[in-house]
Chain A
Amino acid sequence: GDSVTQTEGLVTLTEGLPVMLNCTYQSTYSPFLFWYVQHLNEAPKLLLKSFTDNKRPEHQGFHATLHKSSSSFHLQKSSAQLSDSALYYCALSDATNAYKVIFGKGTHLHVLP
């Protein structure tokens, strides 16, 4: 079945440094990938999602590229901000059941001043 793997439980870095959070997936069919962000005591919110036409989604300075060859959808940002500290979840659905969305375990990003 489909699955999502986020290898890092915690990423700590200093403000201004680049961010990369890893996400790999397994899917038998054409996947749709998502990144959700959850700030402390808030609900998860969509950050960005993959496009079917291979465009690179971007939002709030974050971007991610779907690489089907490596089954990856890593989240990147050129310069971390203190307000980026949050939990980040990679999620997946596929073309056979587009409404069934499964989540990875999440990566906690902690940005230090």
Chain B
Amino acid sequence: EAGVTQSPRYAVLQEGQAVSFWCDPISGHDTLYWYQQPRDQGPQLLVYFRDEAVIDNSQLPSDRFSAVRPKGTNSTLKIQSAKQGDTATYLCASSGDSGNTLYFGEGSRLIVV
């Protein structure tokens, strides 16, 4: 069974540039998460979906971050006008069981200079 796939694996931007991260969850998993993991910190929840619906995006900086999952499968996280403080690894995870086990992708590492 294929795991969670993310791309690109790395991105280096100048401040003010935009970037999109893509995530393909495990087939059949209805719940998809985006976490931000700054260096030497734990994953911090940004947003999560059940199928195509946003369940909680309260921690997503809405002025520059957006996330969609239009068909309830793949998802895109977009950062517009990136700032140095956005430097982090962006982790996508999916879950398909009632026990809330999260399966993570390898992450997309973003550096903003």
Contact = CB atoms under 8 A, between A and B. Distances in A.
Interface of A: 6, 32, 34, 36, 42-46, 49, 89, 93, 97-106
Nearest to A98: B100
Given A43-B104, A44-B102, A105-B41, 15 more contacts: A6-B42, A32-B99, A34-B100, A42-B106, A43-B106, A44-B43, A46-B102, A49-B100, A93-B100, A98-B98, A100-B48, A100-B56, A101-B33, A103-B43, A103-B45
A32 B100 contact: yes
A106 B100 contact: no
Contact of A101 (B4, B98, B102, B107): B102
Interface in B19-63: 31, 33, 35, 41-45, 48, 50, 55-56
12 contacts: A42-B106, A43-B105, A43-B107, A44-B91, A49-B100, A97-B56, A99-B48, A99-B95, A99-B100, A100-B56, A101-B33, A103-B44
A43 B31 contact: no
B91 A101 contact: no
B50 A99 contact: yes
Interface of B: 4, 31, 33, 35, 41-45, 48, 50, 55-56, 91, 95, 98-102, 104-107
Interface of A, secondary structure class, is strand
Contacts of A45: 104
Given A89-B43, A99-B55, A100-B48, A44 B104 contact: yes
B50 to A, nearest CB: 7
Contacts of B44: 103
Residue of A42, A101, A103, A104 with most chain B CB atoms under a 10 A cut-off: A101
Contacts of B50: 99
B67 to A, nearest CB: 15
Nearest to B4: A43
Contacts of B91: 43-44
A52 B33 CA distance: 24
- Interface core residue of B42, B95, B106 (most chain A CB under 10 Å): B42
Nearest to A36: B102
